């Protein structure tokens, strides 16, 4: 089986982190985002993954080469020279996806984090005999999204309603699809939206089915959702295999700590924290709802909450970092500094307080 992951462009919503690496390589819960997806695909027997990219394919491929061997899966790139929307890339990668077997292939949006029930989806697809299956997820605020109107019992999709003013349903497209090769015949090589142009046509022919995604779902393409997604991911991890989660008197709730990280005396860490490889957390530090990436040093008695600390940064002692502060790579926050929602570009030193959310260049 094959899969296409829609990687897309510059990852502007996750800057300043994406100024250092392409978005799919930004770690989430101590593992590059895209690796969560590739490992789940591999587990259901996918042998070849195609990445649809229009930005830095070399960086992506070089990085993923080591995982190809480790996972025993082929990873290749299909490069767009101009943005082709969400359907155009399928037409571009057509020859890489079709092998004459007639088997369906998975299509994933690279920002989507969930428990990836690919096996169940495959069985659902085979069972309904239609042309395409999409995953949908229930949301509390459907008016912000495109809503999928479907038959509850069979999953047959009736129509799509974009940002409905009146309540028509609470299920939205989760960005995970399983498509028969015949879907490719519907797509031209030009900028096209699979959600707005291709799926409605298949639904009109009564050949599109939707499966409600069990478990959590989050589009982690921007900082607030990234932090929220980490909470949901760690919750799911707790239910599945809590041996991966940290334990001890200094841990509160769900916390992931890389084995090479060092944590000092008298810290209080959690809930919903991920600490990456080679990090040093000195004595008396308080961390909650945050991600600390590889090689970071957090000095004594500092408090960090609802923030992302980029690779190889340092946060000085008695500092306070909160409210969606995002430090890019190699940022140095001096002692006793307060940051309230500062978004700080790579290689900066912060010597004065950031009292309201702003971008520091």
**Taking the model in full, what pTM does it have?**
0.88
pLDDT tens-digit readout, 239-298: 887 788 999 999 999 999 999 999 999 999 989 999 999 999 999 999 999 999 999 999
118-128 vs 33-43: helix crossing angle, rounded to 10 = 50
Strand partners, 172: 137, 147
pLDDT band at 355 (very low <50, low <70, confident <90, very high): very high
DSSP three-state, residue 74: strand
Tell me the three state secondary structure of residue 103. coil
30: Cβ contacts below 8 Å, ≥ 6 apart = 256, 258, 274, 275, 276, 277
**In this structure, what token pair is assigned to residue 308?**
């992302």
Q: What does the pLDDT look like over 155-199, one tens digit per residue?
A: 888 888 877 777 888 888 888 999 999 888 888 888 888 888 888
Q: How confident is the model at residue 97 (pLDDT cuts 50, 70, 90)?
A: confident
- For 248, residues 6+ apart whose C-beta sits below 8 A from its C-beta are none
Tens digits of residue pLDDT in 114-162: 989 999 999 999 999 889 999 999 888 877 777 888 888 888 888 888 7
Q: What residues pair up with 274 in beta bridges, in sequence order?
A: 256, 291
Neighbours of 202 (CB within 10 A): 22
Cα 34 from Cα 109, distance rounded (Å): 10
Given a cut of 80, is residue 227 above it in pLDDT?
yes
CB 350 within 8 A of CB 342: yes
Query: 57: which 2 tokens?
Result: 């394919």
Scanning the chain, the segments in alpha helix (DSSP H) are: 33-43, 57-71, 88-92, 94-97, 118-128, 199-204, 223-240
Summarize the confidence of residues 319-346 as an average pLDDT: 96
CA 44 to CA 36: how far, in whole Å? 13
Residue 23 reports pLDDT greater than 70: yes
Summarize the confidence of residues 103-108 as an average pLDDT.
92
Write the burial class of residue 12 (CB in 10 Å: 0-12 exposed, 13-18 middle, 19+ buried).
exposed
Percent of the chain surpassing pLDDT 70: 99
CA distance 115 to 302: 34
């Amino acid at each position: 089986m094959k899969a296409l992951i829609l990687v897309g462009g510059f990852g502007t919503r996750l800057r300043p982190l994406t100024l250092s690496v392409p978005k799919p390589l930004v770690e989430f819960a101590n593992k590059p985002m895209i690796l969560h997806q590739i490992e789940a695909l591999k587990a259901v027997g996918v042998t070849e993954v195609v990445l649809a990219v229009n930005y830095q394919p070399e960086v992506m491929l070089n990085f993923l080469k080591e995982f190809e061997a480790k996972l025993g899966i082929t990873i290749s790139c299909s490069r767009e020279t101009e943005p082709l929307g969400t359907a155009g890339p399928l037409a571009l990668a057509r020859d890489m996806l079709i092998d004459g077997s007639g088997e369906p292939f998975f299509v994933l949006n690279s920002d989507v984090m969930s428990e990836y029930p690919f096996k169940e989806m495959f069985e659902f697809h085979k069972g309904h005999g239609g042309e395409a299956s999409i995953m949908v997820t229930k949301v509390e605020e459907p008016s912000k999204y495109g809503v999928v109107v479907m038959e509850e019992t069979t999953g047959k999709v009736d129509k799509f309603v974009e940002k409905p003013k009146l309540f028509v349903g609470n299920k939205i497209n989760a960005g995970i699809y399983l498509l028969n090769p015949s879907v490719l015949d519907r797509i031209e090589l030009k900028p096209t939206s699979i959600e707005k142009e291709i799926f409605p046509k298949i639904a009109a022919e009564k050949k599109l089915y939707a499966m409600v995604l069990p478990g959590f779902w989050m589009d982690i393409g921007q900082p607030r959702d990234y932090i929220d997604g980490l909470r949901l991911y760690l919750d799911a991890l707790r239910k599945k295999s809590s041996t991966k989660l940290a334990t001890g008197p200094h841990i509160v709730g769900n916390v992931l700590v890389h084995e090479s990280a060092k944590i000092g005396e008298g810290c209080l860490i959690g809930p919903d924290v991920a600490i990456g490889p080679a990090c040093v957390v000195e004595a008396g530090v308080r961390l909650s709802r945050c991600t600390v990436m590889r090689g970071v040093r957090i000095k004594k008695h500092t408090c960090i909450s609802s923030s992302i600390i980029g690779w190889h940064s340092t946060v000085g002692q008695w500092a306070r970092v909160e409210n969606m502060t995002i430090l890019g790579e190699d940022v140095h926050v001096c002692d006793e500094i307060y940051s309230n929602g500062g978004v700080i570009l790579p290689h900066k030193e912060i010597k004065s307080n950031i009292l309201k959310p702003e971008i520091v260049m």
